[in-house]
Amino acid sequence: MELPKIKVWSGTVAHMSLDTRLHKRLVDLLKLEGFNADYRGDWSIETLAKDKQAIVTHHARSAYKYRLTPSQTDAEEIMLDQQVGKLPQEVKMFVTAHNHTTEGSTEIGTIKVVRCPCFTTFIPYTGSLRLLPHYQPDIGAWFIIVTKEGRIRTQEWLYPSFMYHLEDDLILYGAKNLTKSYADPQNYELEDHLKVLLQDAQLIIMVVADLHVGEPYSVCPPSMKYSDETKPLMTTKANDLLFAYWKHLIEIAKKIGIDEVWLVGDAFSGGQIFEKTRESVAILEYQPYMVLELFKLLKNP
- Cα(198)–Cα(90) distance, integer angstroms: 23
Q: What is the pTM of this model?
A: 0.94
Q: Using only C-alpha atoms, what is the Rg of the chain?
A: 19
Lowest mean pLDDT among 42-46, 53-57, 64-68, 237-241: 64-68
* Average pLDDT score over residue span 218-225: 96
Q: CA separation (Å) from 198 to 5, 23, 35, 210?
A: 19, 30, 24, 26
What pLDDT score does 179 carry? 67
The rounded distance, in Å, linking the Cα atoms of 269 and 281 is 9
Least confident stretch, 84-88, 152-156, 175-179? 175-179
CA 120 to chain centre: 10
Q: Is 152 helix (H, G, I), strand (E, B) or coil?
A: strand
- How many domains is the chain built from? 1
Tell me the percentage of the chain whose pLDDT exceeds 90. 77
Read out DSSP for 52-96? EEEEEES-----SS-THHHHHHHHHHHHHHHHTTSS-TTEEEEEE
pLDDT per position as a tens digit, 147-169: 999 999 999 999 999 999 999 99
Question: Given its phi and psi angles, is residue 7 left (phi above 0), alpha (psi -120 to 50 degrees) or beta?
Answer: beta
Give the domain range for residue 172: 5-299
What is the reported pLDDT for 177? 67
pLDDT tens, position by position, 113-144: 999 999 999 988 888 888 888 889 999 999 99
Mean pLDDT of the chain: 92
Q: Which of 97, 139, 94 is nearest to 119 (CA)?
A: 139
The arithmetic mean of pLDDT across residues 61-85, rounded, is 91
Residue 299 has what DSSP assignment? Answer: G
At residue 7, the pLDDT reads 98
Task: Work out the pLDDT band at 296, boundaries 50, 70, 90.
Answer: very high
Is residue 106 over pLDDT 70?
yes
Q: What is the pLDDT of residues 5-34, one digit of tens each?
A: 999 999 887 777 666 789 999 999 999 999
Could you tell me if 246 and 218 are in contact, meaning their C-beta atoms sit under 8 angstroms apart? no
